[in-house]
Structure 1
Amino acid sequence: MVEYNPKSWLNLLFHSYSRYVFRRLLPALIYVTVYTSLITYVFYELNIDFVSTTSVHSILGIVLGFFLVFRTNGAYDRWWEGRKVWGELVNETRNMALKFSVMVPLDHPMRVYITECISAYPTALKEHLREGVPTDMAKEMVEKLKMDDLYHIPNAIAKKLFTITNQFKKENTIDPEQYRVLDEQLTALTNITGKCERIRNTPIPYSYSMFMKKFIFTFIATLPFAFVTVYHYWTILIVVLILYILMSIELLAEEIEDPFGSDINDLPTDMLAVKIGKNVSEIMG
């Protein structure tokens, strides 16, 4: 995620992300430039008798604008919900560490292990939500935390914490009321994972995404015919500029609809995982 000053207009206008978007869209911009140039050349140089009108595309542009607004809002809602869920993770891990730190005696040998488990959870979760926890990292966590070698590493860590809490109850390290409180806290942790997986594994409906791209393609493919007899060779610049604007919005929506990745606009899960680890270590002492 990019950290920036929203009040600095110049930095925003010339930020490197603009160059990144331009590089991503460059092939499409080149194709459309060639396509529009050929149409303009044929109509202008051969003096073809054709009456163009922009009224149809003006109406279609309004409809397309509504579609893009809905598309962007839908993607942003997923991004913002993901941020709220990770905010819950920050709070729940702090609360869990606070309760363990008070309920478990300072000289108990499991305090350090509990700290390592809670600190490892957000790191395992962020990798799980990307391409899955890397094999090397998963193996290291399994060996370090002495937990079951499960495919779902966050579940393996949560299971270990549940096991420890249940053991504390049997040993009378904590009383039944404290056990209930810790059980609710651990349940909240797994609920957060489920919320993240719901966002990650439920993309925008295929048909909507497909027809959105088809709509943009059709609009751009027919746009030169509306402008060519009025703007002549300026049509090339106008069509390419409109394509850049429309596809930039679609590209942004594609990035933020999966907020747990490593794209420039995705959530700062790496930073949050480190932050949680530091907070937990500080709380547990």
Structure 2
Amino acid sequence: MVLDSDKPPKHHRPRWLRDVLAYPDHLRLRGSVVPDIFPLVILTTVYAYFIAHVYENGYDSIAISNSVIPALSVVLGLLLAFRANTSYARYYEGRQLWETLQSNARNLSRLVWLSIPERTQADHLEKMRCMKLILAFAVSTKHHLRGEFGVDYYDLDYLLPPHWIPAATADDENKVKNRKNNGHTLNSAFVKVDHKLHGTRRKGTHGDNISDKANRRISKDISASPSSTSAGTRQSPSISASSSSSTQSSELGIFVSEEDLPDDVMQANMSLPLEILFRMSLYMAQAQNAKKIDGIFSSVIISHLNALNDCLAGLERLQDTPIPKAYNIHLKQSLWLYLLVMPFTIVAELGWWLVPTVVITSFILYGIDSIGSQIEDCFGYNGNDLPLNQFCDSIRKEIEFIVHHIPCEIAF
């Protein structure tokens, strides 16, 4: 049955009816700032009750002129408006950067899957791991922004090549080992690993893993491929002044000199998303050297990798550059002073009505300040933060669809 595009379906409800039937927003607590500001409102209410009680018991001298409030209200309003606007600008920029990251991940996965040919089983394995690294970049960026370092997360560890210890998670001993043993070609990064398509899996992944259908695309163990058994792995020697190390480096095409940076392996480090970008760049370089892609196409892919790096840098800038602490401190101090002075200026006119007036005023002012605090850092787990899990899950589903339903080579 084909629906008439000019007529809404029978199950369609007008927007006004959906709004009426929906739970009203003014009664919602989940997602609001009421739980955060409730203790402050209660404390301010008790203070206002104390002022009203003192005034009603004959201490009329505590009342002061109301001419102070208008000037303070204007200044405080400007401070709160600047805080809210700045926080929302950061929130919106974070969403734009994630949108750019998603777009480049989609373009990169499409280009890698459709444009890099598979000549051997090893080629397919390398491509599959590169596709997983595209998703791993988004997931690792999410954890990186949240200050969750390492790879032991249900939505990340299975995406990385088996037995690969990223520099960001390696201890000192493994850093030295990786420095001595890790090669500079893709063979050491992708192929010189366990021959399963997926790495370690965690139980209870709740659908966040790429399906096992991708494993069935490889009918034989990668060790049966002649290209994988014959492909050598260049070893990167540790930088030293000995002639044996220099000779070995020259044979491998890896040179050292006295002008090199100090080989301080213990202090060297790199964030996991950035290291994943290097691994993907290594894959593209090997594909170009193997004549699988030409220079023009390689430039297109590199432009997308550069765009991902720009997104990472922009997100790190938002995370590492909060609103100046002095501004936040001064705003909160001004807010408290305003609420401390206000009861004395209106108690003579309102009497006991001072208490509900202060409750409403403090609820509004504390709420605006709390909203700015929540959306300023929009990469966490608060209900008002960006849904990073949803963004990463969207990329995962799209890459799964590409792997399972779109052929990498089409015969015309």
For residue 130 of structure 1, what is the aligned residue in structure 2?
A: 146
Higher gyration radius (CA)? 2
Distance in 2, matches of 1:188 and 1:61, equals 45
Secondary structure in structure 1 of the residue aligned to 2:385: coil
For residue 117 of structure 2, what is the aligned residue in structure 1?
A: 105
Cα separation, partners in 2 of 1:136 and 1:222, compared to 1, 3 Å:
same
Distance in 2, matches of 1:217 and 1:276, equals 45
Cα separation, partners in 2 of 1:183 and 1:148, compared to 1, 3 Å:
farther
Deviation at 1:142, TM superposition (A): 7.9
Are the equivalent residues in 2 in contact too, given 1:72–1:250 (CA < 8 A)? Answer: yes
Map of 1:242-257 to 2, 5 A cutoff?
A: 242-257=361-376
Q: Does residue 1:80 correspond to 2:96, yes or no?
A: no
Q: 1:161 aligns with which of 280, 286, 296?
A: 280
Q: 1:200 aligns with which of 290, 313, 319?
A: 319
Report the AA paired with residue 399 of structure 2.
V
For residue 218 of structure 1, what is the aligned residue in structure 2?
A: 337
Deviation at 1:102, TM superposition (A): 2.4
Secondary structure in structure 1 of the residue aligned to 2:71: helix
Are the equivalent residues in 2 in contact too, given 1:54–1:226 (CA < 8 A)? Answer: yes
Deviations for 1:43-73, whole angstroms, at most 9, x for unmatched residues? 1112424553333212211221121111100
Map of 1:132-281 to 2, 5 A cutoff?
A: 132-137=148-153, 140=157, 144=161, 147-151=164-168, 152-281=271-400
Are the equivalent residues in 2 in contact too, given 1:147–1:160 (CA < 8 A)? Answer: no
Q: 1:60 aligns with which of 60, 72, 76?
A: 72
Secondary structure in structure 1 of the residue aligned to 2:83: helix
Deviations for 1:81-109, whole angstroms, at most 9, x for unmatched residues? 00000010111011111211222125631
Secondary structure in structure 2 of the residue aligned to 1:259: coil
Report the AA paired with residue 113 of structure 1.
R
Report the AA paired with residue 23 of structure 1.
P
For residue 25 of structure 1, what is the aligned residue in structure 2?
A: 37
Cα separation, partners in 2 of 1:104 and 1:143, compared to 1, 3 Å:
closer
Distance in 2, matches of 1:184 and 1:44, equals 73
Q: Does residue 1:115 correspond to 2:131, yes or no?
A: yes
Cα separation, partners in 2 of 1:80 and 1:25, compared to 1, 3 Å:
same
For residue 12 of structure 1, what is the aligned residue in structure 2?
A: 25
Identity of aligned residues (%): 26
Report the RMSD for the aligned CA atoms in angstroms. 2.2
Are the equivalent residues in 2 in contact too, given 1:54–1:227 (CA < 8 A)? Answer: yes
Q: State the TM-score, normalized to the length of structure 2.
A: 0.64
Deviation at 1:247, TM superposition (A): 0.6
Are the equivalent residues in 2 in contact too, given 1:40–1:233 (CA < 8 A)? Answer: yes
Report the AA paired with residue 180 of structure 1.
S
Report the AA paired with residue 113 of structure 2.
S
Distance in 1, matches of 2:40 and 2:337, equals 14
Distance in 2, matches of 1:32 and 1:201, equals 33
Are the equivalent residues in 2 in contact too, given 1:64–1:215 (CA < 8 A)? Answer: yes
Distance in 1, matches of 2:36 and 2:317, equals 28
Secondary structure in structure 2 of the residue aligned to 1:232: helix
Structure 1: 5+ residue stretches without partners: none
Report the AA paired with residue 105 of structure 1.
P
Cα separation, partners in 2 of 1:168 and 1:106, compared to 1, 3 Å:
closer
Deviation at 1:274, TM superposition (A): 0.6
Secondary structure in structure 1 of the residue aligned to 2:384: coil
Q: 2:54 aligns with which of 27, 36, 42?
A: 42
Structure 2: 5+ residue stretches without partners: 1-14, 169-270, 407-412
Cα separation, partners in 2 of 1:283 and 1:148, compared to 1, 3 Å:
same
Deviation at 1:166, TM superposition (A): 0.8
